[in-house]
Amino acid sequence: MDRRSWIENCARAAGAASIVGGLQLALPRRGWSAEAQPKENRDTKPLTITDIKTILTAPAKIRLVVVKVLTSEPGLHGVGCATFTQRARVVETAIDRYLRPFLVGKNALDIQDIFQSSYLSSYWRNGPVLNNAISGVDMALWDILGKRAGVPVYQLFGGRCRKAVDTYRHASGASFEEVADKVAALVAEGQRHVRVQMSVEGLATYGAGRQPGAPEDDRRPQVWDPKPYVLMVPKLFEHLRKKFGDKVELLHDVHERVPPILGVQLVKDLEQFRPFFVEDPFSPEDIGYFKHLRQQASTPIAMGELFNSPHEWLGLVSDRLIDFIRVHISQMGGLTMAKKMAAMCEFFSVRTAWHGPGDTSPVGHAANVHLDLAAPNFGIQEARVFTDAEREVFPGCPELKDGYLWANDQPGLGIDIDEKAAAKYPIQDDPPFDFRWGELRRADGTVTKP
């Protein structure tokens, strides 16, 4: 018996199915022969990338960058998030002028090779502009693969580990009572986890909104002093624990704004109030402090929003110095990199908590959800309520119900972009980037981290 006949007999004996490249392909039952099949089924042409489009839109007044990858199969395309909102035009240039000509004509199913070759294509690597450009293409290719296979992307990652994705949302205010009222409102909507932030009078406090009376486009230097903030946050947690007990998990984001030694003190002071996690007590430049922090407090720590390179997180994970990995998936290289990161973190009991703010497009949120559903070590997902304009531009947005995000189970990422609707919400190029990030200063005029 020749090799081909042996393979055919095995297929018949198996009854129907074989696993090829991680996808389940149906094989006809008895009576099938290769010669009886149409020639095009046996000599399948590669699915090539025919074009890559960059779409800039701001339906919620936040600059979003979305990538659309078109293929040689009519009607088959994928979408991905490449949003670097502070440098949207630079990412657009990286995609249109460099990645597009490099990738057109390549096999759209060679996701790993495209990721690796794109990553090395500029020689200088590990920067947020290149990473976001690659991420947008990478997510779009996973979207295409899911559509081609007829399954949601999470099935390509091994299937669901859970039915839906638990989330947290944000509660902020100018007083303990105002924050508590907003926490209570979110709990009533089904949230079990809430991030709490409170403004410090006279200071530009992160996560607590603009100072009263400040215009929306406020380019004036903003004043920040970490000491009053570090003294206030434990009092906020004490107030909320007295009001809610342990009925709700409380989170807080330091946002790298304090000197490392004050970050250590704040995390120690919060330990008694059992936060679900404290995010970014140090900046990426100060990650050496995590080993000192771990020796002094058991408060769970989330880190990674600003990471670009594996060198920034590998040691923190392998040395068990953080508890949640908090990266912005479009800044780290897309789903290809994020699923590798999640797999490594699983072996060190580090849970995922992907970044999910307004400057992650709904496409990026959909990508987060698919990875959340498939990751055994999922922890929590930052969520937002999409505006009507965002839903118009991005049909298929994940649904938030009772504190959970739900995928719609359509093939691929289950989301698309309506280009005509997107054109109704152009990005604003004035200012060309967010000046406020570079205008946070101490009272004496010294610039500080945002």
- The set of catalytic residues is 206, 255
Closest CA to 441 of 258, 229, 224: 224
Tokens describing residue 242: 């007295």
Q: Which residues contact 284 (CB under 8 A, 6 or more apart)?
A: 256, 306, 307, 312
Pair of tokens at residue 190: 């089904």
Q: How many of the other CB atoms lie within 10 Å of CB of 324? A: 23
Alpha-carbon distance of 402 to 192, in angstroms, equals: 9
The dihedral built from the CA positions of residue 314, 319, 325 and 328, taken in this order, carries a sign that is negative
Output phi, psi for 80, to 5 deg: -145, 160
Distance CA 450, CA 441 (A): 9
DSSP 273-331: G--SEEE-SS-GGGGGGHHHHHTT----EEE-TT--SHHHHHHHHHTT--SEE---HHH
**Alpha carbon distance 367, 386 (integer Å):** 15
H/E run at residue 187: helix 176-188
Beta bridge partners of 196: 171
The C-alpha atoms of residue 255 and residue 9 are separated, in whole angstroms, by 62
CA 94-139-389 angle, to 5 degrees, is 85
> In whole angstroms, what is the distance from residue 448 CA to residue 450 CA?
6
- Tokens representing 403 are 């504190």
Among 415, 432, 430, residue whose Cα is nearest residue 140: 415
**Residues β-bridged to residue 51:** 70
Q: Which residue has the tokens 């008694």?
A: 272
71 Cβ partners below 8 Å, 6+ apart?
47, 48, 49, 50, 77, 78, 108, 144
CA gap 436, 391 in Å, rounded: 28
CB 131 within 8 A of CB 214: no
Reference 408, options 244, 164, 196, 233; nearest CA is 164
How many residues comprise the chain? 450
